[in-house]
Amino acid sequence: MMEKILVSSCLLGTPVRYDGSGQKLVHPQITTWQSQGVIIPLCPEVAGGLSTPRAPAEIIHDKVVTNAGEDVTVAFKLGAQKALQLCLHHNIRFALLKESSPSCGRNSIYDGSHRGIKVTGMGVTAALLANNDIKVFSEQQMPALIKALAQC
Ligand code: SF4
């Protein structure tokens, strides 16, 4: 059976980002996976109950806070739990998540100052999935994801 892959909804072009946009990843492998029906899309922030558009949020000191100072940690953690439940339900072992998001960031996030500064780190959902043995890749790591899937 083919591996299913959890994919950030915005990478499929769905307009779920904080500013109401999508960020479609144009890659032939995405088209192939879609035709094979192996993509399971999710936006953790929407799943956590946040609206679109919404205030941009960043992680600081284990909390997620908007640029207006609102603590949205609970919604981010709920979205992460829903992502994990979805993975467990579908036996998903691989995720393709949007880099630098406070939910989906795989290798980098913003530093919490809301000044556009990136630092090494993981978003809330990416970290929870990785801690539960799901292999998480960003859209900048497509070759590595394709290679890992080929070795299954
Ligand atoms: S939470 Fe993830 S899927 Fe949702 S808009 Fe942000 S990066 Fe995309």
Atom of ligand 1 nearest to the CA of 46: 4
What's the predicted TM-score (pTM) here? Answer: 0.98
Model pLDDT, residue 72: 98
Model pLDDT, residue 68: 98
* Ligand 1 geometric centre to CA of 152 (Å): 27
Per-residue pLDDT in tens (0 to 9) along the chain, 152 residues: 799 999 999 999 999 999 999 999 999 999 999 999 999 999 999 999 999 999 999 999 999 999 999 999 999 999 999 999 999 999 999 999 999 999 999 999 999 999 999 999 999 999 999 999 999 999 999 999 999 999 99
Q: 14 CB under 6 A from ligand 1?
A: no
* Ligand 1 geometric centre to CA of 149 (Å): 23
Model pLDDT, residue 21: 98
The DSSP secondary structure of the chain, one letter per residue, reads -PPPEEEEGGGGT-S-STTS-------HHHHHHHHHT-EEEE-HHHHTT--SS---EEEETTEEEETT--B-HHHHHHHHHHHHHHHHHHT--EEEE-TB-TTT-SSEEE-SSSSS-EEE---HHHHHHHHTT-EEEEGGGHHHHHHHHHT-
Dihedral of CA atoms 18, 20, 24, 25 in degrees, nearest 10, equals -10
